[in-house]
């Protein structure tokens, strides 16, 4: 039996990588690809795929919003048109989404960068569910009910969470690779002409975030501090505080270049509080 699949991700590199890995599965037919949530909804309704590899974080309509729309539209159409909801496999850089997915046993997940053995396991799980009529692994509820449970969990979990649910890792693009970086390893991040550079002790790359504010929403506020409008620093990776002219300071960081970062006048008081200056 041939299994039809969609790949939805706003990064061309991620789509190409996953499509390449899926080529090794003889029974998987990638019928289409999409770059955002709107395209995802349209392609799912057009192709009625068996499985959808869905990026969680996309501009506009994210992966969870896509599922919500598909479930809602499926309910409206199911009396007039018979089609099975697809199996959803999240493509994500963040373990927090995996935990939520498995809490309701409704979907599988792949962490970026993709691993061939993990893709194969996700396909095995999808095949089993498809052959069992889209029931859960223990047959406790149909896929529609499970997706409802997932959406309910996400909605309740996100309310009031604020900055307290940051992922433990950050996705950083270094050349053609998408790397998962522990936040503790990040020395600092800098924005220049709309591009955010992320520097660790070992390497540097770019964040997919478009603003410093968006990046800060993903970082642990207990250790990351916006020392300047263009810089966010990990306070545990500050090597030296250097007095500068007119009662200002610079921070010498713990990266290979020992980069010096200015502290804005507005943040000087915070610096003194942090280090009892």
Measured CA to CA, the distance from residue 183 to residue 163 in angstroms comes to 15
Does residue 206 sit in the same domain as residue 128? no
Residue 164 lies in a domain: no
Per the structure, the complete domain to which residue 59 belongs is given by 3-159
Residue 111 lies in a domain: yes
Question: Given 159, 194, 214, which residue is the final one in a domain?
Answer: 159
Does residue 199 sit in the same domain as residue 223? yes
Number of domains comprising the chain: 2
Question: Which has more pLDDT, 270 or 15?
Answer: 15
Cβ 69 vs Cβ 38: under 8 Å: no
Question: Given 108, 124, 159, which residue is the final one in a domain?
Answer: 159
> Domain of 151: which CATH number?
3.40.50.2300
pLDDT, tens digit, 9 for 90 and up, residues 38-48: 999 999 999 99
CB < 8 Å & 24+ apart, contacts of 16-22:
17/113, 17/114, 18/53, 18/91, 18/110, 18/114, 18/119, 21/114, 21/116, 21/119, 22/119, 22/123
Question: Residue 98 — pLDDT band, cuts 50, 70, 90?
Answer: low
Does residue 30 sit in the same domain as residue 151? yes
Phi, psi of 161 (to 5 degrees): -75, -35
Does residue 42 sit in the same domain as residue 123? yes
pLDDT, tens digit, 9 for 90 and up, residues 128-169: 888 876 444 444 445 666 676 666 655 554 444 444 445 567
């Amino acid at each position: 039996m041939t299994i039809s699949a969609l790949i939805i991700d706003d990064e061309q590199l991620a789509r190409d990588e996953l499509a390449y890995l899926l080529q090794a599965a003889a029974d998987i037919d990638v019928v289409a690809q999409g770059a955002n949530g709107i395209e995802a909804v349209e392609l799912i309704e057009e192709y009625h795929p068996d499985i959808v590899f869905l990026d969680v974080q996309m501009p506009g309509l994210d992966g969870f919003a896509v599922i919500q729309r598909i479930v809602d539209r499926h309910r409206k159409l199911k009396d007039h048109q018979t089609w099975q909801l697809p199996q959803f496999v999240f493509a994500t850089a963040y373990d927090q989404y995996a935990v939520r997915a498995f809490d309701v046993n409704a979907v599988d997940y792949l962490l970026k960068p993709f691993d061939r053995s993990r893709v194969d396991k996700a396909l095995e799980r999808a095949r089993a569910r498809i052959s069992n009529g889209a029931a859960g692994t223990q047959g406790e509820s149909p896929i529609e009910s499970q997706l409802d449970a997932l959406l309910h969990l996400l909605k309740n979990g996100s309310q009031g969470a604020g900055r307290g649910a940051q992922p433990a890792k950050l996705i950083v693009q270094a050349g053609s690779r998408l790397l998962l970086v522990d936040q503790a390893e990040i020395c600092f991040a800098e924005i220049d002409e709309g591009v955010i550079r992320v520097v660790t002790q070992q390497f540097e790359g770019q964040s997919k975030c478009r603003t410093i504010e968006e990046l800060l929403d993903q970082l642990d506020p207990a250790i990351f501090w916006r020392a300047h409008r263009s810089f966010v620093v990990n306070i545990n990776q500050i090597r030296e505080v250097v007095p500068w002219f007119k009662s200002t300071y610079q921070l010498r960081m713990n990266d290979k270049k020992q980069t010096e970062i200015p502290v804005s006048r507005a943040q000087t008081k915070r610096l003194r509080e942090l280090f009892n200056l």
